[in-house]
Structures are given as structure tokens and as C-alpha cells.
Structure 1
Amino acid sequence: MAASWEESVEYSINTIYLLFSAYLVFVMQLGFAMLCAGSVRAKNAMNIMLTNVVDAVVGSLSFYLFGFAFAFGEGARSNPFIGTSFFALKDIPSSSYGYDYSFFLFQWAFAIAVAGITSGSIAERTQFSAYLIFSCFLSGFVYPVVAHWVWSESGWLSPNSSNLFLGSGAIDFAGSGVVHLVGGVAGLWGSFIEGPRVGRFDAFGKPIPIRGHNATLVVLGTFLLWFGWFGFNPGSFDKILVAYPDTTDQGNWTSVGRTAVITTLAGSTAGIVTLFGRRLIVGHWDALDVCNGVLGGFVAITSGCAVVEPWAAVVCGFFAAWVLIGLNILALKLQFDDPLEATQLHGGCGAWGLIFTGLFAKEEFVIQAYNSGTVGTVRPYGLLMGGGWGLLGAQVTEVLVIAGWVSLTMGPLFYALHSLEILRISIDEEVAGLDVSSHGGHAYVHSDENHPRFYAEYVSLQDN
């Protein structure tokens, strides 16, 4: 039956909104590239920028061929644990207008972000061939399975499932766990198996600072990621024209602005707390610490951005900052070397974000986001908001199963690559830099006027 004029308009507006959000999320790849490039030494800038491009290129094909089907496939092999393994596009949810390619594009933009997170953990010491292997596996299989659990209507942890886990399902609205915790745990195993960079710790285990070469790129990358997060979080309302009967607000469109504000408040709070917290610890103001603090707040609020009040976002950001600071201190004590703090930031703050949602989710917002305001609906909500233990139990379960799944898949993969001696570059290559050893030259034009210190190092390496 042909759709009515009103349905056509509604579909068009929802599609435009979803595509616009997908474009914003894709801009985050540029943010990752700038952030990562500025955070590494100049001799590895070309390598890190290439890996970020590869995330998008490899992720496009792997998510098209396999990933989307694992995440959202509705074919004969679909089940609560894993989607169908058939080719993806034939399993895209259909509508009266045919296949919804805009939904695929939005989900693809999320998938390629996961590999970008992991690349930061193993920066400056990883063979490019190994990167191609794990990036494809992560975006084509490991991440999509988790996305299926939480975001597919047939997923066993999904809050949209007909059989809700613990009567609630896990609320991970835009992916503190599905995206960030997955990337963080994968980075944990990669960095742990590879070991620290040459010179990161002295013979007594004392950390030696290795500063990135360009703070300007780090700040630029942070603002690009901030911009992209307005597609990441509010954009996860993939349909904004949805009626909310018998509730205060009247549709998803009324929640989009609130979600954007909540995202901003959490990131800003985490940034300012990190600024002052690190000032007390190290004795000076550091723009790079603020950047990571802001991102940590965004990661944490991504789970509950649609179901909490603005004041709760401030609470989320405050504790996210201390989670990040504490895990960074612990990482140094354990001689764990993550050049971009990706494990601590995305893994630690992502886990906190899931727990936070289980504590502070508001009943009215939960019903709006997951039941379209159906009259008489009762759902568990935040424990500290009077909603009982059901939601918090589901959130803790999500943290544990993601950590377990990613460890069981990515851990053995990194170990196998290490055993085959195709994971880490040699000491000589690491000292010279990946740009020279693997990519035919540096990212920058060198001259005595423009880069005197780096040029002298480069000439010395060439002479030797």
C-alpha cells in the first residue's frame, strides 16, 4: 500500500536528520587523525595519519561485507547472540521505501570509530600489516557482535527487546560500551602484548615523558571530535518525528536539544576538573590534559545522554575526570604505555558511563527513549532515582560481557600476531621512526629554518 503524504514527509525528515548525523560522526575520523598525529612524535606522524585513513577504507568494506549483518541482520540465522553472517546489505531493515541505506551509513560511521580508538593505544610501534589485520577483524566482527547484543531488537541485552534482560535491558544510547569500551579493551590488549615504547621507562621502571610533537593538532582534533559528538549522541535518535502520548514532551525532536546540552555539560565539567586536578598533581596548567578530560566526559555521558537530567551530566563529567586521572596514575605504576591514553579514556570512562546510567537514568526519559511514551509503561530506571536494581544490574552485565568478549577475541589475535613477529617493529625502526622505515619519508618538509632540532636528528640517523 502506498504511503500517505504525511508518512512521506515524516520519512524524509527522519532520513535527512539521520544522514546529517552520520556525516557529523564521520567528521570524527578527522578529529581522531589530528588528535593522534599531534600526540605522537613527528617521525611517526605520517604513519598515524595513514592508519586513520585505513580505518575508514578497511572499515567500509568489512562492515559492508560482514559487520552490518552481524550487528543488525534479520535473516534466517539471526539470533540473540549474533546476527546473520550473510552479506550485509540484503539484511538492511526494509521499509515501505525500500532498503534504508541511511541507517547503514550511520552505523558504519560508528564502526570505523572503534578501530580509531584502538590505534592510539598501539601508536609508534606497530607494523602496518598487523594494523590492517586487526582493524578489519575489529570493525567487521568483534564490534558488530556487541552492537547486535545492545542495539538490535533481537539482541539479548537490548532495551528494545521483547524479552528484556533483568526486566530492563542495558541502556547504552550512543555507545559508551558498544563503541568506546570495545575500543578501549582492544587497545588494552594490543598495548599490553606489544609492551612500552623504547625509552618510555628507565631501567628502574620510572616513567620518562614522551611528548607529542604538535599541541595545535591535538586541540584541533579535540574540537573536531566535540563537533562530531553532536551527531554521535543526539543523532542516535534515528527517528526524530515520533509521538510521545501521555508524557511531558511530544517527540524525539524535543529531546535532541537536551541531549546536545547534556553532552556539552559532561565534557566541559570533565575538562575543567581535569585541568585543576592535573594542576595539583604536576604543578602546571596543561592544555593536553584538558583535551583528554573533555573527551573523557563525552565518552562517559554517551551511554546515558538521552535519559538523564542536565545536572546529572555535571556529576558524570566530574567523576569521569577522576576516573581518567586515577587510571593514568595506575598505568604509569604498572609501566603500561598507551600513547594517547585511549585505554584509560575510552575504556575506563566508557565503563563509568554505563554504571552512571544505571544510577541516574530518569524514568520519564527512559520511557520516552525506549517505549515512545506508551501509556502505562513501567520500566526500571536509575537506582539513585528510585528505580531499583534492574537497570544497574544490566549495565554492570554489559561492562563485564564486553570486557570478556573483546578479551577473548582481540587478545588471542594480538598474541598470534606477536608470535608470528608481525605485530611490533624492530628497535632500530622504532628509533628511526615509522615514517622513514615504513612509509618512505616524513610527514613534514625538513629544513634548518623550519625544524632545526628535528632536522639535526634526521641527519644524524641518516649518517648512522
Structure 2
Amino acid sequence: MSTCASELAIMLSGAGNATGAADLLCGRLDYVSNGIIDTSNAVNSTYLLFSAYLVFAMQLGFAMLCAGSVRAKNTVNILLLNVLDACTGSLFYYLFGFAFAFGTPSNAFIGKQFFGLKKLPQTGFDYPFFLFHVPYWIVYPIVSHWFWSADGWANAGRNTSEWLLFKSGVIDFAGSGVVHMVGGVAGLWGALIEGPRRGRFEPNRVDIRGHDASLVVLGTFLLWFGWYGFNPGSFTVIDKKYGPSGSINGQWSAVGHTAVMTTLAGSVAGLTTLFAKYMKTGQWKAMDVCNGILGGFAAITSGCSVVDPWASVICGFVSALVLIGGNMLAEKVKFDDPLEATQLHAGCGAWGILFTALFAREKYVNEVYPGREGRPYGLFMGGGGRLLAAHVVVIIAIFGWVSLTMAPLFFVLNKFGLLRTPQEHENAGMDLTYHGGSAYQFIEPAAVGAAVGAPV
């Protein structure tokens, strides 16, 4: 700085050198400006990478949740499936998933750039952005293109003249529909075509429960922790102001707001499930409470950035009722899913899409999705019914797309005997028959063993 001042003093003394002084000042200002831009990019990249790490921790959470929710004799099998899910998901998303989801310029249905990460990195599509979306791979790339790609037909960031749904984009901020409903509908077809576990609905049946509540609770808390990357991380950047410089209004505040909305919905859903289950059974059901918490998270994921705290409480309360009602319906129609994936992810995810269309607040909507004059917001907040109509359409679209792609797949797998293990293997347990031994010594409760014809 002293060198700059000395050079500037020489240029301005006597006859001076105005051109030289201007060049010096502009050069220094450009240097400072570029440094600020570089710092902002570094902060945003670090934020997105940290969010990606949190989201990846959800893989561990799901592994623990799944392991605790199945029978002890299938523990190794379900853990291996979770490990392979992470490995194959990363590879396939690298090869074509990311391109299908975010390959722009493209069409409104599917992306067609960035196969094998070609042309990366570039502005808006750097490696942290890829990593953040890897854990969501399931069957969602095309659906995520509809909602989250700039070219997608349901994207909330399209110009108003391009909106295809009642002159409204769709607000699914972090994926109640894109992630949860997609996964839940896929689970629906898998469970329907495979059929219930043997003994699950026999006349002398007993309730076949998960074997380890400790793993379920551990998995739930890991998922809760990961959800703070899942929902707030969907902003993808944190260094963005909403008002004048120096004010509290900015994306940094919206990130905190989103995390709090997530917490409230999950907490209320857990408590609602606890007391509802007690009123129904007279028992305090820890594992059911965990699923209630996750149902609240799945529901708030769509509107977490655009609703008020009191609305998040409503979201969590209703999501618990949706989950409980879904489980009662599943029992009645003899639908069997040990993880309640359809009821939790599809049911609560669909409720989350509807909830956002009802309670999205205008102020938050315009901050998170700026620059769109006349954008509709929540029906109950005075925003009219266009957003709700658009959200009903996308619920139908998601259900139709996933059904069209996954039902035939499960049907073919079942036809060739690849979906379900033989009865003797199911009775003995997949750990023993496929993986060379059990995860640990565990004695199956006599009533359950007798009900399914397994040795006790």
C-alpha cells in the first residue's frame, strides 16, 4: 500500500500524470474486486462441499435405519445393499445421471450435456455441485431435470412467458417430490410385485418387527444431521444478499431459516406420532416415532425455504397423520414394506408438495426465486390457486413417470425369479444363505420364528 501511495504521489505532483494515476487506481481496484470474487466463490464452494458431506452421511443413516428395521438374519444383506447403492450410484451418476439431470442447454424433458462430466468445471456446474447431487441418484435424474434444471418444464426459475403450468413454476426446493416421492413410488411397485413377507398376513400371524431399536434410533439421528445439508444445502450458495449491503437479509439468513423449519417439522411429527401411537396401542413406540420424524422431514423438504415457523408445525403434524393413516391402510390391504417407504416417502412427500402450495409466503418466495413478476405463492397466504394446481399436476406426473419406469422393471425381475429369494432361503435368512454367516449371534423370538416356519 505504501508503494502504491508513493507512485500515486509522484504521478499527481507537478504536471502530474492523470492517465497513469487512473491506470494505477483501476488496477488496484480490479485486484481487490477480483479478490472479493475469488473469496466469494471459495466460500460458496466450501459451503456446498460441506453440505454434500452432510448429505453423504445420510447414507450411513439409511444403512443403520435399514439394518435395525429388518430381521437380524438379513442384516449383512441389507448393509451390503446400502454399500453397493453408494458405489453404483456414484458411478452411474457420473456416467449419465448428472447429464440427464442438469445437462443444459437441453429440452424440457431430459438433459443431454455433461456425460462423464465432460465440459466440467464451468460457471454454475463445478465439481461440488455434482458431488452434492450424487447421493440422490436412485431413479430421479429425469425428474430432477423437470424441477431443478434451467430447461425443465416445471422449473420455478423459468421466465413467466415460458411457464407451462397455469403460468406457474413448481416450488420443490429440496425434493419432497423429486427425491422422496420418486423413491416412495418406486418402493410401492417393488413391494406390490414382490408381495408380503411369508407369515406376515397369515391367520396366526404376529407382527414382524425390526430387530434392533438402537440401530433405528442411531440411523434416525444420522439422517436428521444429514438433513441440515440436504435442505439448507439446496441453496447451493450462501454468499448472496437479499437487500442493501450490511443488512441481515441474505442467503446466510435464509440458510438458518431453512434449517429451523426442518427441525420444527420433524420434531412435531415425531411427537405427534408418539402420542397417536400411544392412544392407539397403549405403548410408547420408539421405532414408530423415528419414522414419524423422518416423515416430517420428507414433507418439509419441499417448502422449507418459503414457509413460516407456524406453518412448519402444521406440516409436521399433518405428515404424522399421513404416515399413520398410510400404515393403517397398508395393514388393511395387506401391503408389506418393513421400512414403510411408500407411506413415509411417497405419502409424506406428496403432502409436502401440497403443503408448499398452500403455505408458501410471498416474501420468502420472491427472495428465493427472484425476478419473476406476478409469481404465485401459497393459497392460504393469499396467493391464489395457480401454484396449487401446478403442484397437483406434478404429483400426478411423478407418480406416472416412476410407475412407467419402475413397475415394468420389477415385473421383469419377478418374472425371472430375481426379485425374491426362495422360501428356504427366506426362512433361514439371507445372511446365512448368501453371505456366509450372520452379522452377529441373535436368537429369533419363538413366536415370530414359528409364524414363518423358521427354526427357532
1:4 corresponds to which of 4, 20, 34: 34
Shift of residue 378 of structure 1? 2.9
Q: Is the 8 A contact 2:155 2:169 kept in 1?
A: yes
1:151 partner amino acid: W
Residue of structure 2 equivalent to 1:188: 188
Q: Report if the CA contact (8 A) 2:274-2:285 is conserved.
A: yes
C-alpha spacing 1:403/1:249, structure 2 compared with 1 (3 Å) = farther
Kindly indicate whether the alpha-carbon contact (under 8 Å) linking 1:72 and 1:91 is maintained by their aligned counterparts in 2.
Answer: no
Residues in 2 aligned to 1:418 and 1:272: alpha-carbon distance in whole angstroms: 39
**Structure 2 counterpart of 1:26:** 56
Q: Report the 3-state secondary structure (helix = DSSP H, G, I; strand = E; otherwise coil) of the residue aligned with 2:140.
A: helix
Q: Any conservation in 2 of the 1:74–1:93 contact (CA below 8 Å)?
A: no
Query: Does residue 1:109 correspond to 2:135, yes or no?
Result: yes
Q: Identify the residue that residue 176 of structure 2 maps to in structure 1.
A: 176
Q: Does structure 1 residue 82 correspond to structure 2 residue 110?
A: yes
Runs of 4+ in 1 over 4 A off after TM superposition: 246-249, 451-455, 461-464
SS at match of 1:167: coil
| Residues 1:273 and 2:272 aligned together | yes
Aligned-partner SS, 2:37: helix
Deviation at 1:274, TM superposition (A): 0.5
Q: Given residue 132 of structure 2, which amino acid in structure 1 is its aligned partner?
A: F
Contact 2:104 2:113 in 1 (8 A): no
RMSD: 2.3
CA–CA separation in structure 2 for the residues paired with 1:363 and 1:41: 47
Q: Report the TM-score, using the length of structure 2 for normalisation.
A: 0.87
Partner amino acid, structure 1, of 2:410: F
- 2:154 is aligned with what amino acid? L
In 2, are the aligned partners of 1:92 and 1:104 still within 8 Å (CA)?
no
Q: Report the equivalent of 1:160.
A: 157
- Mapping for residues 353-432 of structure 1, pairs under 5 Å: 353-371=352-370, 374=371, 377-432=373-428
Is this contact kept in 1: 2:377–2:383, CA < 8 A? yes
Partner of 2:88: 58
CA distance in 1, matches of 2:429, 2:454: 12
Deviation string 1:396-426 (CA, Å, 9 cap, x unpaired) is: 1111100000000000000011111111111
Q: Which TM-score applies when normalising by structure 1?
A: 0.86
- The 2-side partners of 1:463 and 1:187 are apart by 29
Listed one character per residue, the Cα deviations across residues 193-244 of structure 1 (whole Å, up to 9, x for unaligned) are 00000110114xx863001111000000000000000000011110111222
SS in 2 for 1:440: coil
1:100 equivalenced with 2:100 (yes/no) = no
* CA distance, structure 1, for counterparts of residue 88 and residue 358 of structure 2: 38
For residue 331 of structure 1, what is the aligned residue in structure 2?
330
Partner Cα separation in structure 2 for residue 192 and residue 28 of structure 1: 26
Q: Which residue of 2 aligns with 1:148?
A: 145
The corresponding residue for 1:260 is: 259
Is the 2:61–2:223 Cα contact (8 Å) retained in structure 1? yes
In the aligned structure 2, how far is the partner of 1:437 from the partner of 1:319? 42
**Aligned residue identity for 1:174:** A
Give matches, 1:103-252, under 5 Å.
103-111=129-137, 139=138, 142-162=139-159, 163-165=162-164, 166-203=166-203, 208-245=206-243, 250-252=249-251
1:377 Cα offset (Å): 3.5
- Tell me by how many angstroms 1:249 deviates: 5.6
User: For residues 365 and 453 of structure 1, what CA distance do their matches in structure 2 show?
Assistant: 52
**CA shift in 2, pair 1:361/1:88, >3 Å:** farther
For the residues of structure 2 that align with 1:342 and 1:463, how far apart are their CA atoms? 29
Query: Contact 1:304 / 1:356 at 8 angstroms: preserved in 2?
Result: yes
Distance 1:66 1:361, change over 3 A: same
Residue 73 of structure 1 contacts residue 92 of structure 1 at CA under 8 Å; is this kept in 2?
no
**Structure 1 residue 19: deviation in Å?**
0.2
How much identity, in percent, do the aligned residues show? 59
Number of residues of Structure 1 aligned to a counterpart in Structure 2: 418
Give the superposition deviation at 1:441. Answer: 1.0
Contact 1:72 1:92 in 2 (8 A): no
Q: Hey, what's the Cα distance between the residues in 1 that align with 2:53 and 2:184? A: 24
Q: Give, as a single letter, the amino acid of the residue that structure 2 aligns with 1:184.
A: G
